[in-house]
Amino acid sequence: MGYAQLVIGPAGSGKSTYCSSLYRHCEAVGRSIHVVNLDPAAEQFDYPVAVDIRELICLDDVMEELGLGPNGALMYCMEYPFALSNVRSNLKGLNLMIRELEDNLDDWLTDELDNYLDDDYLIFDCPGQIELFSHVPVLRNFVEHLKSKNFNVCVVYLLDSQFITDVTKFISGCMASLSAMIQLELPHVNILSKMDLVTNKRDIEDFLNPQGQVLLSELNQRMAPQFLKLNKALIDLVDQYSMVSFVPLDLRKESSIRYILSQIDNCIQYGEDADVKVKDFDPEDIDD
Ligand SMILES: Nc1nc2c(ncn2[C@@H]2O[C@H](COP(=O)(O)OP(=O)(O)OP(=O)(O)O)[C@@H](O)[C@H]2O)c(=O)[nH]1
Ligand SMILES: [Mg+2]
């Protein structure tokens, strides 16, 4: 059994920083994790990269060869390894393969991830394009692949606390997270990142464990009267999916990282197998 965190969230929400902080934390406590870069546009890392999607495809090449802008090129990069047969016709004359890697998802992932099975703990640092977890099936296919390889996977969704200045922005952050939940159908931990930048904690407190009724009345105050019904439906939706809970992440505090990691471990049942093994062992069963 392997374990994996899929770290997603809007651009600049702090995903890569979270990955490197988590790596350092685990290193300090003597725990082994491996961080995988799934961002073809990434340039530098503060963590040792265990597996790098840029070895398969890189953004600059796609922009140049296909004449795409950075966002279109990124979507292309992400879909490329996962749907190679569909895009093969577009690839005529292109020399996108940077190395002599096998030219399909299974081969590439199997090659790269086979070293990381059985009890290994992988962190996937994903790109920030919101399309990836809203309606494009790339990540979904990727997750299916991980599951087939016996990984317990959890989504770690980061939302930048700096953007959560009022209820409307909070709701839109929730909606983006919700679409990832629906799209990926995985256990989900929502994190409010960059808490060190929040000067007035009271501004954010309402959003850490918000009450549906409180959110609704704030939303109603901000929006024109014709939105009352929509507001109610939105808040009900957020309530229903019991996703109105964000865990604050303050990278200055070890305790904050430790707490988040324990929540995630819980979601993917990391460590439970070891407990089971201990519990299964009954001294009474031993023959004399
Ligand atoms: N103060 C503070 N800054 C942070 C924190 N996390 C990230 N940042 C800053 O926010 C910016 C974006 O952080 P990244 O970790 O690159 O964000 P990302 O989500 O990986 O970004 P993309 O991969 O481009 O989507 C950088 O300038 C980071 O230094 C944090 O906890 N506190
Ligand atoms: Mg990043």
In this structure, the residue with its CA closest to atom 32 of ligand 1 is 194
Tell whether the model's pLDDT for residue 207 goes beyond 50.
yes
Q: Which residues line ligand 1 (CB under 6 A)?
A: 11-17, 39, 127-128, 193-194, 196-197, 251
Of 268, 192, 273, the closest CA to residue 6 belongs to: 268
In this structure, the residue with its CA closest to atom 8 of ligand 1 is 14
Fold of 2-209+245-271: Rossmann fold (3.40.50)
In this structure, the residue with its CA closest to atom 29 of ligand 1 is 17
Rg (the chain; Cα; Å): 21
Tell whether the model's pLDDT for residue 259 goes beyond 60.
yes
Of 35, 23, 20, 3, the closest CA to residue 267 belongs to: 3
Give the number of the atom of ligand 1 that is nearest the alpha carbon of residue 9.
Answer: 19
Share above pLDDT 70 across residues of the chain, in percent, rounded to a whole number? 78
Q: Which pLDDT tens digit goes with each residue over 13-68?
A: 999 999 999 999 999 999 999 998 888 778 888 999 988 877 776 777 777 777 78
Most ligand 1 atoms within 8 A of CB, residue of 6, 17, 157 to mutate: 17
> ipTM value of the model?
0.99
What does the block give as tokens for 271? 């460590």
> Lowest-pLDDT range, 133-137, 199-203, 236-240?
133-137
Give the number of the atom of ligand 1 that is nearest the alpha carbon of residue 11.
Answer: 25
Return the domain boundaries, the chain.
Answer: 2-209+245-271
149: CB partners within 8 A, 6+ apart: 2, 109, 110, 113, 117
- Residues 115-132 have a mean pLDDT of 79
Asked if 3 and 151 touch (Cβ cutoff 8 Å), the reply is yes
Q: Pick the more confident residue, 279 or 77.
A: 77
Asked if 271 and 152 touch (Cβ cutoff 8 Å), the reply is no
Give the number of the atom of ligand 1 that is nearest the alpha carbon of residue 10.
Answer: 25
Taking the centre of ligand 1 as the mean of its atom positions, its distance from the CA of residue 215, in whole angstroms, is: 28
Q: Which pLDDT tens digit goes with each residue over 218-233?
A: 999 999 999 999 999 9
For the entire predicted model, the pTM comes to 0.82
Tell whether the model's pLDDT for residue 86 goes beyond 80.
no
Confidence category of residue 118, pLDDT binned at 50, 70, 90: low
